[in-house]
């Protein structure tokens, strides 16, 4: 029997073109022919670190073509063990025969597809002239989000904030050779009103993006806060902005960034302008004018994983 291809993080890192991956995602969201069941989302106790971990199981099928399932754990306290919070694998299958075609390192796949999805949303929601970005968070996603946004917008200057200034400085050093000026900052408030795009990827339980600092025309990209008790933006941000999500199924049920304002009556479901399926298929519009503040909330969608798995499998077989 044919053995599955092993696709590791080094291959993913060395072959990713965010422009290519964004186009693949755009096509998949637009065509909407992928079958995506509701993902399994299980929280389980982790007594050793005194904080719950999460198990995510995310399947998707494109009939007669391919299928896949991602099995991932998210352990917020993994820094104690000098490990990334996200661990897992992606099983890429032939949808007709069920043959396992590839086993893909899921952390890198998730990071790349998540960043590309934010960039795809930005192509509809940020100003075309957007040239400055604030990156809040210093995890594995931060570098990739900066690179992905820069693939779709003419980003020239980036500020990086993290709870640990050393990590923010390391990211700045890593990216300064990419024709982007990158600077670590100690306070979000000192720069947030000066940038065109704010991208936030953290596990924060208290808001880091405060609406009182936002100005007209900004785009806010909320990528972290994947649980109902987590949030990266406060009520004022949500109230001031036009809100977009990756999918109604996930966006309205999983993240505190949307659930808490809904529960408190700050917004209603009707205030959600569109999901990515509607934006990509041109059923609904994104940004209307240069004064609009837009928010994109991403919680992840199994379609994104399948698209990325197909992308890297095809790269491996080119």
Domains of the chain as residue ranges with CATH = 5-109+303-316 (3.30.1780.10), 117-301 (3.40.50.720)
DSSP state for residue 233 in the 8-state scheme: B
Q: Which residues pair with 92 in a beta bridge?
A: 68, 102
Q: What is the dihedral of CA 64, 28, 309, 251, to 10 degrees?
A: -120
- For β-strands 197-200 and 132-136, DSSP reports them as parallel
Element (H, E) at 251: helix 248-251
Report the alpha-carbon distance of residue 131 to residue 190 in Å, rounded.
Answer: 18
Element (H, E) at 257: helix 256-263
Q: Over the stretch 93-107, which tens digit does the pLDDT of each residue have?
A: 999 999 999 999 998
User: Model confidence at 179, in pLDDT bands (50, 70, 90)?
Assistant: confident
Report the alpha-carbon distance of residue 41 to residue 55 in Å, rounded.
Answer: 6
Report the alpha-carbon distance of residue 73 to residue 137 in Å, rounded.
Answer: 20
Sheet with 40-44, strands from edge to edge, namely 5-7, 100-105, 86-94, 66-74, 53-62, 40-44
Distances (CA, A) of 105 to 74, 113, 115, 296: 14, 13, 16, 27
- Encode 117-140: b = buried (16+ Cβ within 10 Å), e = exposed: bbbbbbbbbbbeebbbbbbbbbbb
Task: Report the chain's C-alpha Rg in angstroms.
Answer: 19
Contact 2, 99 (CB under 8 A): yes
User: Residue 74's pLDDT is what?
Assistant: 85
Report the alpha-carbon distance of residue 59 to residue 90 in Å, rounded.
Answer: 10
Contact 102, 158 (CB under 8 A): no
Within 8 A by CB and 6+ apart from 306, the residues are 28, 34, 60, 61, 62, 66, 67, 68
Q: Tell me the average pLDDT of the chain.
A: 92
Q: Over the stretch 204-217, which tens digit does the pLDDT of each residue have?
A: 889 999 999 999 99
Q: Over the stretch 136-146, which tens digit does the pLDDT of each residue have?
A: 999 889 999 99
Q: Over the stretch 240-281, which tens digit does the pLDDT of each residue have?
A: 999 999 988 777 777 889 999 999 999 989 999 999 999 999
Determine which of 59-63, 225-229, 249-253 has the lowest per-residue pLDDT on average: 249-253
Indicate if the pLDDT at residue 164 is higher than 80: yes
Determine which of 21-35, 68-82, 244-258 has the lowest per-residue pLDDT on average: 244-258
User: Model confidence at 1, in pLDDT bands (50, 70, 90)?
Assistant: low
């Amino acid at each position: 029997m044919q053995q599955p291809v092993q696709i590791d993080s080094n291959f993913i890192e060395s072959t990713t073109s965010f422009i290519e991956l964004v186009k693949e995602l755009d096509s998949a969201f637009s065509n909407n022919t992928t079958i995506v069941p509701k993902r399994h989302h299980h929280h389980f106790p982790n007594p050793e670190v005194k904080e719950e971990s999460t198990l995510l199981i995310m399947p998707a099928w494109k009939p007669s073509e391919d299928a896949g399932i991602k099995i991932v754990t998210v352990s917020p306290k993994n820094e104690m063990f000098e490990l990334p919070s996200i661990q897992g694998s992606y099983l890429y299958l032939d949808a007709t025969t069920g043959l396992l075609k590839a086993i893909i390192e899921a952390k890198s796949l998730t990071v790349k597809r998540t960043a590309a999805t934010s960039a795809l949303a930005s192509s509809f929601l940020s100003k075309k002239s957007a040239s400055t970005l604030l990156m809040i968070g210093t995890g594995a996603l931060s570098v990739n989000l900066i690179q992905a946004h820069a693939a779709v917008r003419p980003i020239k200057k980036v500020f990086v904030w993290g709870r640990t200034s050393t990590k923010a400085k390391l990211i700045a050093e890593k990216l300064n050779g990419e024709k982007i000026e990158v600077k670590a900052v100690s306070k979000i408030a000192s720069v947030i009103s000066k940038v065109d795009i704010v991208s936030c990827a953290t596990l924060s339980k208290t808001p880091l993006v405060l609406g009182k600092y936002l100005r007209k025309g900004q785009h806010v990209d909320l990528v972290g806060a994947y649980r109902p008790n987590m949030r990266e933006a406060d009520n004022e941000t949500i109230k001031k902005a036009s809100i977009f999500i990756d999918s109604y199924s996930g966006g309205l049920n999983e993240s505190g960034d949307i659930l808490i304002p809904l529960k408190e009556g700050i917004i209603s479901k009707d205030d959600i302008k569109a999901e990515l399926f509607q934006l990509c298929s041109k059923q609904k519009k994104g940004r209307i004018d240069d004064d609009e503040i837009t928010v994109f909330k991403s919680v992840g969608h199994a379609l994104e994983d399948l698209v990325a798995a197909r992308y890297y499998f095809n790269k491996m077989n080119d």
